[in-house]
Structure 1
Amino acid sequence: MSVKTFEILEQLKSLTLLETSELVKQIEVTFGVDASPKPLFYNSITHLSDDHSPLPPVPTEVNVILDHVPAEKKIAILKVVRTLMGLGLKEAKDFVESVPQVVKEAVTPEVAEEIKQQLELAGAGVSVQ
């Protein structure tokens, strides 16, 4: 550190709080700067505008998976699976008996939610991935 800088620093240390406040105001006026603190929220937003994204991208396509079929609800679930997938009776029965199975692949989250609700109303355990 230069001698001049060291002397200025020592003088700053000897200032009172009021004198320091007046000095800051005078520096702002003289150099056209703003020394007021920026909110942390503001700084985090400007930081996030870089290439760093804090949230994972929202999936545009998801899979609906039939996870669980209770024995007492098997027939009701089988009917819904037949309707959703356009399967025959034997194919739907084999499908329902071999869970977990993907009911629909690469559908929008909205469609997946509708399918999930239909299967859950019939009594099935369903997940969306």
Structure 2
Amino acid sequence: MNGVRIIKKLPLRQWRSFSRCSILQQEVVQAAAPLTVPVPEGVDKPVSPKIEKLVADISNLNLLEVSELSQVLKKRLNLPDAPVMPVGGFSMAAPAQEEEEAAPKAVKTNFTVKLTKFDEKQKVALIKEVKNLLEGFNLVQAKKFVESAPTIVKADISKDEAEKLKEALSKVGAVIEIE
């Protein structure tokens, strides 16, 4: 009661500053209230009651109602229809058999050139040739490449290119296999 009597005796100017302070204090308290502590990793994030209610309602729907819900949401949100994948893979069984029969008739178009071994006397010439034939190799990389034989020189190349590589490397003492 004494606090109220003191406020009544205050002049109007002091009363205004007192009310402004109390309003500012209320705004500060309200602004600080929305801050929440972040949820640590590995712990489920709390869900709002509105979302929880929606999940419960949707989980109680039968298949026809879910289908209707899906169609309505697609129309309202302008979502495209997603392609339906076949279940069980029954449609894929027949083409697989046809591919197996066609495989032996296919002609091999991609070849791999492999350096199996090399003549030690012509090692320097082989390193220089590898540096010139393979892009992005300097002398140190070419030396390590040659010394790591057997190794693949190039993979997935045409037959003509594989023959040219074999001929060029065979001239400088390399033993080359084309697979």
Match of 1:59 in 2: 108
Match of 1:124 in 2: 174
Distance 1:116 1:126 in 2: 6
Match of 2:41 in 1: none
TM-score relative to the length of structure 2: 0.41
Give yes or no for the alignment of 1:115 onto 2:128.
no
Match of 2:141 in 1: 91
Match of 1:101 in 2: 151
**Residue identity opposite 2:176 in structure 1:** V
Equivalences for 1:1-129 in 2 at 5 Å?
Answer: 56-86=105-135, 87-129=137-179
For the aligned residues, what is the CA RMSD?
A: 1.9
**Residue identity opposite 1:98 in structure 2:** S
Aligned length: 79
The higher relative CO (CA closer than 8 Å, separation ≥ 6) is in 1
SS in 2 for 1:64: strand
SS in 1 for 2:169: helix
Q: Which runs of 4+ in 1 moved over 6 A?
A: none
How far residue 52 of structure 1 moved from its aligned partner, in angstroms, is 6.1
Q: What runs of 5+ residues in structure 1 fail to find an aligned partner?
A: 1-50
Distance 1:52 1:61 in 2: 20
Distance 1:84 1:52 in 2: 39
How far residue 118 of structure 1 moved from its aligned partner, in angstroms, is 0.1
How far residue 56 of structure 1 moved from its aligned partner, in angstroms, is 4.9
